[in-house]
Amino acid sequence: MRLLGWLLAVALVTIAVWLPTQLHQSSKPEMSTDTSTPTTVTVERVTVVPDFTIYTNVRDKKQAFFSFLAPIVQAENAVIEQAREQLLALVQVHKQTGSLNKKQLKQLERIANDYNVTVETNDLAATFGVLLRRVDVVPEALALVQAANESAWGTSRFALEGLNFFGQWCFRKGCGLVPDARSEDMTHEVRKFASVNASVRSYLRNINTHPAYFELRRLRAEKRQSGADIRALDLTEGLMSYSERGEDYIHELNSMIRVNRPIIIDVLEPSSDSAPE
């Protein structure tokens, strides 16, 4: 009887030690190695811009503008997020096995091609490093505020006639709209898009690939590495080259983000008390 009691006590102690260990181990998130192509995100193609001049109340106008553009920005960001998840899975496979098979290498090359990166097969770690800085979302609040700034809240000629909400230029004759104030020695046009979706997609790609915005990507990568939220206000310093106004442009964006914070929350996170700054 004493022996039975002693054995039971030992068993209980063993379980008490084993169970927390198992719970702790099972709670650790495991990085996925599923590199299959994700489901394509779709959103309705938008080719008509609402008349935002009908609003006499400023807040109503801003709310309408953000509500119009936010779903498109979120959908395009979702596509980027899916590509990033696939990239992270490839990184994990390479970390575990030291190589990628032919199918995985093709997946990597497809992602790299989308982001203007050459795959260095002899140094995949370097390729991953560049891609992880590029294949990432842009905070919706930042995209929305830049669109408002560049398109005069959706009322500019370029937004209405060219569906261009971000003031992007092109340099082939006939590729866009000629600015009225363009000097004689300039040849650029303001690019025309087939849809608002294409304008947003081009803007995000520009931010993620153009050398001028390397600093923004560096700041974003630092936030990722530290596990911190990526906020719009954390990245504006990386947009110094977006406008000839430089620092004044950054100050204006920061001010717009802060002033429009409550409206942006209502549009992006209507049930949340936290702000997508």
In a domain, 212, yes or no: yes
- pLDDT band of residue 137 (cuts 50, 70, 90) is very high
In a domain, 173, yes or no: yes
Does residue 34 lie within any of the structural domains?
no
Residue 218 within any structural domain of the chain: yes
- Is the pLDDT at 201 greater than 50? The verdict is yes
For residue 273, the model assigns a pLDDT of 45
Q: Is residue 246 part of a domain?
A: yes
Q: HSE of 39 in the Cβ direction (CA atoms, 13 Å)? A: 4
Q: Is residue 1 part of a domain?
A: no
Residue 4 falls inside a structural domain: no
Q: Are 236 and 38 in contact (CB under 8 A)?
A: no
Instruction: Give the tens place of pLDDT for each residue, 11-43.
Output: 433 333 333 333 333 333 345 566 665 555 667
CA distance 143 to 264: 11
Q: Report which secondary-structure segment, H or E, holds 191.
A: strand 189-191
Examine residue 171 and state whether it is found in any structural domain, yes or no: yes
The enclosing domain of 157 has a CATH number of: 1.10.530.10
Domain residues for 165?
56-268
Model pLDDT for residues 89-116, shown as the tens digit of each residue: 999 999 999 999 999 999 999 999 999 9
* CA proximity to 37, closest of 82, 76, 97: 82
pLDDT over 70 (residue 145): yes
**Model pLDDT for residues 204-255, shown as the tens digit of each residue:** 999 999 999 999 999 999 999 999 999 999 999 999 999 999 999 999 999 9
Q: How confident is the model at residue 179 (pLDDT cuts 50, 70, 90)?
A: confident
Q: Which ranges constitute the DSSP H helices of the chain?
A: 2-27, 58-97, 102-114, 124-134, 140-151, 157-162, 196-209, 214-226, 232-235, 247-259, 261-268
Give the number of domains in the chain. Answer: 1
Q: How confident is residue 158, by pLDDT bands cut at 50, 70 and 90? A: very high
